[in-house]
Amino acid sequence: MKAALVTGAAAGIGRHLAIDLAAQGYRVTVVDYDFKGAQQTVAHIKQAGGEAQCFQCDVCNDSQQEHVFQQHMQAYHQLDLAVLNAGVSEMGDIIKLEGSGWQKTLDVDLRAAMVGARLAARAMLAQGTKGVILVTASAGGLFPMPLAPVYAAAKAGLVHFTRSLAPRLAKQGIRLCALCPQQVDTAMTQGERAAEVLNWMKKQSGGGVLTTKQVVEAAQHLIQDDSRVGTILLVMARGPLVEWQPARNNLVPFTPRPRLALDKGREAYLQALAHWAAHSIPQHRRKLQVHRLSNDFAEATKIVTEPLPQQLPPGHVLIRNAYAGINASDVNYTAGRYFGSPQEAAKRLPFDAGFEAVGAVAAAASDVTGLVVGSPVAAMMYGSFSDYQVVAAKHVLPVPLAAKEVVALLTSGLTASIGLEQAGRMRTKETVLITAAAGGTGQFAVQLAKAAGNRVLATCGSDDKAQMLQQLGADGTINYKREDLKQVL
């Protein structure tokens, strides 16, 4: 007969998993700080004909944990499975309180599980047989939890601990895996603070809550499948089981751009930007130019090189572009739809592509005022897909930083702002409905309407988009592909 030790088994996931293991023939050691609850779990197992014992244990106390493992080995002489399930929710506010409050979350949810894994591995290595160690982490260890940052940090640590240690233990016949359920209907989610976190998580998952039975079934996949080593199993409230793996190609080359250095001040930033923009201005520039009318951007355009003017026309500046914005309208432009007719568009070939860019002034005509070399600027002009651009000063928009975030504020941000504030005359404490809210303009509209103190309803076409809109602040989302807009409103 196999033997298992389960921590946090007085209630919830731990109790149901202990009972399920006993039904499969495991002799079970039930461990919990709540001794009365642990006794009830044992009574349930014995009533069904199983074999179990229980111990009270504060898993934060290393000596008590070690004693429990010793007692298990004395009673059953073997350890085939250790389920490190003991856990607590967010305890205390990390900003407002000292460590005496929130530190407990780290101690129980991370450190105690790591100590338990060490004790379980030692017991299994000593007996010379294969074994399984299963830690209960959380979906909060994979995704941000703004209302429970310490809990999320603890569970994320447990996930990375599992991934890091598992290969080493596997060489000695021990499989280590982690279970990451979303919100589960247990007593742990009943407290006032926990309930607030639960409600937030329900919004993120589309309203679903897992049952302990679902989580136990997922755990059994990891326990019974000998091929699972270091597996991080995400159990979602809505959807199939998912094995979480980090992105393989998420390393993107980092190219430093001049930016505001708070320690050196604004003047130093502008000096650095001026050096970047005006140092060694080339004689030629490269740009994307439309040579044939087509919806296929690559087919319609090609990169060309042309001389920069030796002298700027009056009232103009030379901008070195740092970032350019890519829009859905770019393909309408290359297809010639913005010139009145295809014939008129064809007459203008070739013409420059790109609608918006952000950069810094590299040079200015002598009659230009208010714009000096190094000024961070934006421009919404045709021809933005180029490294340098000659623009009339009256069309240049001064901006605080030559940053990529500014690009999104131009077409999308201004459309949302003008639409809400000028055309819509938006006030505060209103209900604002935003359709196609997951698009570029819609995302800004959601945030601007919330910033003005309004209740925001947003429509979109998928649950993933709905989740993103909720993270942006939408009070309610409507998936128009499966919900009736009129009925919801």
**Mind listing the pLDDT tens digit for each residue in 447-488?**
999 999 999 999 999 999 999 999 999 999 999 999 998 888
Q: Is the pLDDT assigned to residue 353 strictly greater than 50? A: yes
- Give the 3-state DSSP-derived string for the chain, with helices as H, strands as E and coil as C: CCEEEEECCCCHHHHHHHHHHHHCCCEEEEEECCHHHHHHHHHHHHHCCCEEEEEECCCCCHHHHHHHHHHHHHHHCCCCEEEECCCCCCCCCCCCCCHHHHHHHHHHHHHHHHHHHHHHHHHHHHHCCCEEEEEECCHHHCCCCCCCHHHHHHHHHHHHHHHHHHHHHHCCCEEEEEEEECCECCHHHCCHHHHHHHHHHHHHCCCCCECHHHHHHHHHHHHHCCCCCCCEEEECCCCCCEECCCCCCCCCCCCCCCCCCCCCHHHHHHHHHHHHHHCCCCCEEEEEEECCCCCCHHHHEEEEEEECCCCCCCCEEEEEEEEECCCCHHHHHHCCCCCCCHHHHHHHCCEECCCCEEEEEEEECCCCCCCCCCCEEEECCCCCCECEEEEEHHHEEECCCCCHHHHHHHHHHHHHHHHHHHHCCCCCCCEEEECCCCCHHHHHHHHHHHHCCCEEEEEECCHHHHHHHHHHCCCEEEECCCCCHHHHC
Q: What pLDDT, on a 0 to 100 scale, did the predictor assign at position 263?
A: 45
- Give residue-wise pLDDT tens across range 299-330: 999 999 999 998 999 999 999 999 999 988 89
The mean pLDDT of 204-228, rounded to a whole number, is 84
Distance, in Å, from the CA atom of 470 to the CA atom of 201, rounded to the nearest integer, reads 11
What is this structure's pTM? 0.54
Q: What's phi and psi for 302, nearest 5 deg?
A: -155, 160
- Sequence spans of domains, the chain: 3-243, 265-402, 407-488
Distance, in Å, from the CA atom of 7 to the CA atom of 21, rounded to the nearest integer, reads 13
Give the total residue count for the chain: 489
One CATH from 3.90.180.10, 3.40.50.720, 3.40.50.920, 3.40.50.300 for 265-402 = 3.90.180.10
Cβ(88)–Cβ(109) under 8 Å? yes
Query: Is 407-488 assigned to CATH 3.40.50.720?
Result: yes
Q: Is the pLDDT assigned to residue 110 strictly greater than 90? A: yes
Confidence of residue 194 (pLDDT cuts 50, 70, 90): low
- Residues of the chain with pLDDT > 70, as a percent, come to 91
Pick the more confident residue, 119 or 206.
119
Q: Is the pLDDT assigned to residue 278 strictly greater than 80? A: yes
Q: Is the pLDDT assigned to residue 189 strictly greater than 60? A: no
Q: Is the pLDDT assigned to residue 190 strictly greater than 60? A: no
- Give residue-wise pLDDT tens across range 53-86: 999 999 999 999 999 999 999 999 999 999 999 9
Matching fold, domains 3-243 and 407-488:
yes
Average pLDDT, the chain: 90
Q: Is the pLDDT assigned to residue 365 strictly greater than 90? A: yes
CATH of domain 3-243: 3.40.50.720
> Which phi-psi region, left, alpha or beta, contains residue 486 (left: φ > 0; alpha: ψ -120 to 50)?
alpha
Q: Which two tokens stand for residue 256?
A: 């430093």
Q: Is the pLDDT assigned to residue 200 strictly greater than 70? A: no
The mean pLDDT of 278-295, rounded to a whole number, is 94
Report the Cα 319 to chain-centroid distance in Å: 35
> Which of these, 345, 417, 413, lies nearest to 382 by C-alpha position?
345
β partners of residue 318: 363, 390
Q: Is the dihedral of CA 201, 202, 205, 206 positive or negative?
A: negative
Q: Is the dihedral of CA 56, 63, 186, 101 positive or negative?
A: positive
The mean pLDDT of 432-443, rounded to a whole number, is 94
Cβ(390)–Cβ(318) under 8 Å? yes
Q: What pLDDT, on a 0 to 100 scale, did the predictor assign at position 318?
A: 96
Q: What's phi and psi for 249, nearest 5 deg?
A: -120, 50
The mean pLDDT of 39-60, rounded to a whole number, is 96
Neighbours of 432 (CB within 10 A): 21
343-367 burial, b at 16+ Cβ within 10 Å, e below that, comes to: eebeeeeeebbbbbbbbbbbbbbee
Distance, in Å, from the CA atom of 225 to the CA atom of 228, rounded to the nearest integer, reads 6
Confidence of residue 242 (pLDDT cuts 50, 70, 90): confident
